[in-house]
Chain A
Amino acid sequence: MRIVVLTKPVPDPASGQDRLGPDWRVDRAAAPAVLNGNDEYALEAALRLVEAHGGEITLLAMAPPSAPETLRKGLAMGADRAVLVTDPALAGSDIPSTVAVLAAALRDLEADLVLAGIDTSDGFAGVVPAALATTLRLPLLSNAAAIEPDPAAGRVRVRRIVQGGYDVLEAPLPALVSCTQALGAPRYPSLKGIMAARSKEIAVRSLADLGPLPRPVGGAVAETVVVAVDPPPPRGATRTVRAPAAEAAREIAEFLAARRLLP
């Protein structure tokens, strides 16, 4: 099975740095980049699928030229290769641009299964998987909590999380699955994996390499613009309860009950 995992380098949410520049764009120089958290869950799911069914995993990213360092972690976790689409013209791309570029790159990769995280921790739009599936005319199996492919039959089953339970969806391959954290926590790369990643290929593609696209792309034609950003209101005063466990629990319960926050 050929699996492509969409992996986006995002500013490290744990860095504590202010990650927005003056134009409200994500300032990618302000904080070190890491693999988007939900994409790591998608990659973990891919690794388990390949362990069970055989196959190979390609990481696909559209990102600044510094991205190979971030992608290397995915290769160390066990992906076989990576494709990085990077081009100065892509800075400031909006969702339609991103989808057009990823779709073009995906056409070349001939995947049986495309996995994506349900959203990214920098953009948070969460529509790229659906838009990409639509563009590529692939079935979309969203919010996956379990993925069960049947490569011989050319089909895949997914448990989709819905309110109060899950749906079981089935679709022919190739298909696109958006992955939730219910699939299971990503592994740490092993040290041998890190050393092996050194010799794995990261193919770098420019816009020109992708060939003609059906629409103009990049920051220059972005249709969505961030107009304003408001910080969340400051947190009110916190109260720390310091008491033996039973006493503390009672105190906290009373506090919540007084505010009608307990059922």
Chain B
Amino acid sequence: MVVSSTPPGYELTEEQRLVRDTVRALADDRIAPRAAEIDRTGEFPWDVKALLAEHDLLGLGIPAEYGGVGADLLSVCLAVEQVSRVCATSGLIIAVQELASLPIVLAGTDEQRRRWLPDLAAGRQLVAFALTEPEAGSDAAAVRTRAVRDGDDYVIEGTKRFITHGSIADLVVVFAVTDPEADRHGRMSAFVVERDRPGFRVARLEHKMGIRGSPTAELVFDGVRIPAGNRLGAEGEGFAIAMRTFERSRPAIAAQAVGIAQGALEVATAYARTRRQFGRPIGDFQMVAALLADMDAATEAARQLLYRACTVIERGGPDAARWAAIAKLVAGDAAMRVTTDAVQVLGGYGYVDEYPVERMMRDAKITQLYEGTQQIQRLVVARALLGRE
């Protein structure tokens, strides 16, 4: 299990501040100069991945005994936030490595963790999380991919869609139906599939609006045979593993959103100081100043909510899913609004790629969609409120 180092309280710890400041410096010096090109070429930034690995950022949430940093959830989010502030594609590299290693951390046996986590923690290998299918998006329990037991093996058959890093990952955590007769939440199990298994193939890559350096793949499992020892948890636990994973991974997406918003706010503020119209800086006009103030308020509110959510989730308990959903809901909406307003502050210059805010606006949109759309986050919150299943 992930051990918390966060004492109760309302301040970041000394260590968390050091994590934040270190990653911010790294992001400003080494990643920011690459962001526009990553977006333009749409190529996965292997150099950034290597940089993140070198600084242990791909093993942040993985326990130290398996080669990771063993950082608390808030530290993971601080890192994702600071990298996403300059490049959302790069922030997502950290977030997805965390997302997809979580099922192994949460449900793997000691042997399985020893087998896979050290390479993931060191960034020698990447891992993807494959839940979504053409017919199973928001309705994650509707997965059709089958895993059929055959002696000591399982044979996996089906198609996964929209899988981040699916084309470059060494390992894929796949959710597949083991018992079609069971109820909605007991049908699925989780498996680790190594990419070199025969029958595994990347069918296509998406052409996307934002996070363009992040490959999003359709994966086909054509009779992929894996040993039963690659199953995570018991048969039928897949859905529960996915939901427990989301409790800790949705905050990382909220952190990506807060980072994007902060990046846009900084660009817009600097621009409003220097751009002159009607003989003075546009920041002198109250309508522009109010936009900036609202952007700051929305970003800070989302950030503080997220940090609070992290400490609640770290402590564990029945309220974790609700906090994760609220954090992602508020942060995703903040990012969309703040980046849209940043484009407004820059006027026509905001709409062209001379400045990064148009990219940030395109990148922000994904945070309202993946790991559950905003509507699904509301569903989670409402269920917690109304006490329904």
Contact = CB atoms under 8 A, between A and B. Distances in A.
Interface of A: 68-69, 72-73, 76, 188-192, 194-195, 197-198
Interface residues of B, number: 21
Interface string B45-66: 0000000001111011000100
Contacts of B64: 195
Contact of B57 (A191, A197, A198): A191
B15 A195 contact: yes
Nearest to B18: A194
A76 B18 contact: yes
Q: Which 8 A-B pairs have the closest CB atoms?
A: A191-B56, A191-B69, A192-B56, A190-B56, A190-B55, A194-B18, A69-B14, A188-B26
A188 to B, nearest CB: 5
B18 A72 contact: yes
A68 B17 CA distance: 13
Contacts of B19: 191, 194
Interface of B: 5, 14-15, 17-19, 21-22, 25-26, 54-57, 59-60, 64, 69-71, 79
A69 B18 CA distance: 9
Nearest to B52: A191
Main secondary structure of the interface of A (DSSP, over half): helix
B70 A194 contact: no
Contacts of B22: 73, 76, 188-189, 191, 194
25 contacts: A68-B14, A72-B18, A73-B18, A73-B22, A76-B18, A188-B22, A188-B26, A189-B18, A189-B22, A190-B56, A191-B19, A191-B22, A191-B55, A191-B69, A191-B71, A192-B56, A192-B69, A194-B19, A194-B22, A195-B64, A195-B70, A195-B71, A197-B15, A197-B18, A198-B15
A73 B19 CA distance: 10
Contacts of B21: 73
A188 B31 CA distance: 14
A188 B18 contact: no
A189 B17 CA distance: 13
A191 B21 CA distance: 11
A6 B273 CA distance: 39
